Structure 1
């Protein structure tokens, strides 16, 4: 294993891109198959794909990615599935934040970094279909490497059966990596996806981890892959079940208010949003997670 992790970084970036392709195909398939119920007579949505670039202060190539966004579909009101591979040197603020949070020595002397990942947020047309978030990523510096990410469900109209299914799929994919992993990552998600100023969770939870490095890259990569693999079987059946349900104005109002909570969290607390903006990544890609419409009471 080379010190610069070139092979490992390449494999991770390829995996995130492959997962992106699988999810985009599945979501367009949901648009095509929605032929009964609300909005089934509309045209099926399609992703618009845009290349993104990271703006490095010195003008050098600093990587980029693909921003894939679908708006105004039959099923998805707005969904983004982004992948990125960025690199360069961390600025002073990012170095300070990294050193403070992770206690990594040597960042000031050698502030190089590399990061790749997939980030997904889906806001749905039907208020009965839950919004959802998923991301997985790998981060490397000359001093340390780690994985992070997870997924969480964000319904505005909660169904216990949907929550149980979503969590059940997460557990099934995590259990092969250790029976203690799902409860630990569930608790981590409950803590991370909490909105302090509202004193409430932003949804019904999921799984989350960060700074994950056991020293065994292959084992850690296998875990982050299974976190990604859990997403479609956890989410797609919920979409298929709920997209046919009728909704009324009160349901839509509840959805818009809940989206306001989601926007507050992502703008105030989300680490990925802060890191993307501080390191010069495409702002539209970083803020892709924001809903198309929201409401505050």
Structure 2
């Protein structure tokens, strides 16, 4: 077998910066969520112990046993406010399998047959709340690289079981404010993309009240695309935490919990059938528990 000289990697420093940013964002969110737990001292759930994240290192499985990267899976279960929330960060790399190569080729990535090497880093968050009045939420941002192409992706969307128009409006307003500096057309475009992406065809309905979403983001200007990706991440806490504070003290009963469990069933269906991140993580050998942390602790179907 003839050895080949590895080609230079002009994106090494950029990949390092992106991975460090995702880890920083993860640390900020974990700390903020634990503060929410510690300060919830009145209302439903306040009699429970304050939730804390359990942190586990994850590793990606490679076919030959070589190092293929990994990350941190941070999960809080049974908290005062958060019934289950996961905040995962990972950096994985290696060679894409045949199915993943075909998927990349179908998305317009050239040269995968010649060199199927890849690198991917990102943060993924899903929060399922104890109080049915508090909306569930999802957020992720990521960078993907091959020797032939690179791109960013991600977004955030709100998934309330009990919808409040003011919550939806405030969530979207914060997202828009963070995207507007990148161009007046970015928020409407990413909002429309989210409406299309977070749709459940077999139910003929959206899984929530929308948000923003992008994928395959490569304008040719890495700095500009990275800055947009960062602002999607920066928007998350100011968009979501005020809604938590607004609703976490509200009383609820069996009818509200029933609505929440049924809505969680929709969320589970979407993530298992349609979500690209779930499919990619499982197809590339990443830790299955980390990939599937998005699933709710309990759900119901009618």
Q: What TM-score do the two structures reach when normalised by structure 1?
A: 0.99
| 3-state DSSP of counterpart to 1:134 | strand
1:9 to 15, 25, 41: 15
Which of the numbers 235, 239, 254 marks the counterpart of 1:234? 239
8 Å Cα contact 1:4/1:142 also seen in 2: no
Partner secondary structure for residue 49 of structure 1: strand
CA distance in 2, matches of 1:17, 1:103: 29
**Unaligned segments of structure 1, at least 5 residues:** none
Partner Cα separation in structure 1 for residue 178 and residue 133 of structure 2: 26
- Structure 1 residue aligned with 2:68, among 36, 44, 62? 62
Of 278, 282, 292, which residue of structure 2 is paired with 1:273?
278
Structure-1 residue corresponding to 2:169? 164
Cα deviation digits, residues 77-130 of structure 1 (max 9, x gap): 000000000000000000001111x21221011000000000000000000000
CA distance in structure 2 between the aligned counterparts of 1:121 and 1:103, rounded to whole angstroms: 29
Q: Which moved more, 1:104-113 or 1:45-54?
A: 104-113
User: How far apart are residue 58 of structure 1 and its match?
Assistant: 1.1
- Please give the residue correspondences for 1:22-41 in structure 2 after superposition, counting only pairs within 5 Å: 22-41=28-47
Q: Does 1:80 align with 2:89?
A: no
Matched, 1:222 2:227: yes
- TM-score w.r.t. the length of structure 2 is 0.97
Q: SS state of the match for residue 3, structure 1?
A: coil
How big is the shift at 1:186?
Answer: 0.2
Are the equivalent residues in 2 in contact too, given 1:52–1:66 (CA < 8 A)? yes
CA-CA distance at 1:41 after TM superposition: 1.4
Cα distance in 1 for partners of 2:87, 2:133 equals: 21
Pick one of 200, 207, 222 that aligns with 1:202: 207
Q: 1:96 aligns to what?
A: 102
Partner of 1:288: 293
Output aligned runs, 1:136-155, within 5 Å.
136-155=141-160
- Aligned-partner Cα distance in 1 for 2:257–2:54: 26
How big is the shift at 1:3?
3.5
Distance 2:215 2:95 in 1: 21
Question: Aligned-residue CA RMSD in angstroms?
Answer: 0.6
Distance in 2 of aligned mates of 1:271 and 1:46: 29
Residues 1:43 and 2:49 aligned together = yes
Q: Say if 2:266 is the partner of 1:261.
A: yes
Q: Distance in 1 between matches of 2:140 and 2:39?
A: 26
Q: Equivalent residue for 2:192?
A: 187
2:179 paired with 1:174: yes
Cα distance, 1:159 vs. partner?
0.1
What's the CA shift string for 1:194-234, capped at 9, x where partnerless? 00000000000000000000011001000000000000000
How many residue pairs get aligned? The number is 295
The Cα shift of 1:290 comes to 0.1
Moved over 6 A (4+): none
1:18 to 5, 18, 24: 24
- Structure 2: give runs of 5+ residues left out of the alignment: 1-7
